[in-house]
Amino acid sequence: MTAGIRIAAMTDDHAGQVLDIYRLGIATGNATFETEPPTWARFTASRLPEHRFVALSPDETVLGWTACGAVSDRCVYAGVVEHSVYVHPAHGGHGIGRALLGALITATEAAGIWTVQSGIFPENTASLALHAACGFRVVGTRERVGRHHGVWRDVILVERRSHAIT
C-alpha cells in the first residue's frame, strides 16, 4: 500500500471528495447503474454510519471510500449488507481498495454481520479481481438485471461470508 495512507471513518467533512470520486466512477460507465451521484443527505441516509470509511493521504485528501447499507429491513437479513468501494482513478493499483475492504470487513464482522455482498458489472475486471483477492466469491451472474443508458446490463453477484460468525 502507498506509504502514509490511513483509513478513517467517513464524516461529513469528506462529503465533497467522496461524491467527486463517486462521480469519476460513474463516468467510467462500468461502476454503477447510477448516472449521477446522490446528494450527501441521500448518500448518508442509505448507508450505515458505522460502516463507512475513507482512505486519506498524508495531506487528508480522500483517495477512496467504501460504505455499505442493509439489503433488507427483515430481521432474517440483519447480518447481510451490500457495499460499494471506489478509488480515485489516479490512485488505483496501490492497495487502497484492499485496505478499504479490509477495514469494512473488520468492522462488519465486529458488528455481527455475516455476509457482505455486491453486484459488479462483468466489464469491471479490476473490481472483480480486488474482491477475489479479499475473499469474495462469485455467487452467479444476474442477467439483464437493469438498464443503463438504455442498454440491459448483467451484474456478477459476489459475496464474502464471515468465517468469524458461525
Do the beta carbons of residue 25 and residue 31 sit within 8 Å? yes
Residue 2 is predicted with a pLDDT of: 62
pTM of the complete model = 0.95
**SS3 category, 2:** coil
The CATH number of whichever domain residue 81 belongs to comes to: 3.40.630.30
Q: Rounded distance, CA 137 to CA 133, Å?
A: 10
Q: Rounded distance, CA 68 to CA 104, Å?
A: 8
In sequence order, the 6+-apart residues with CB closer than 8 A to the CB of 156 are: 119, 120, 121, 122, 128, 138, 140, 141, 142
- The answer to whether position 12 is within a domain reads yes
Q: Give the model's confidence band at 77: pLDDT under 50 very low, under 70 low, under 90 confident, else very high.
A: very high
- Residue 26, pLDDT > 90, answer yes
User: Domain residues for 43?
Assistant: 6-118
- The answer to whether position 142 is within a domain reads no
Dump pLDDT digits (tens) for 97-145: 999 999 999 999 999 999 999 999 999 999 999 999 999 999 999 999 9
User: What total number of domains does the chain contain?
Assistant: 1
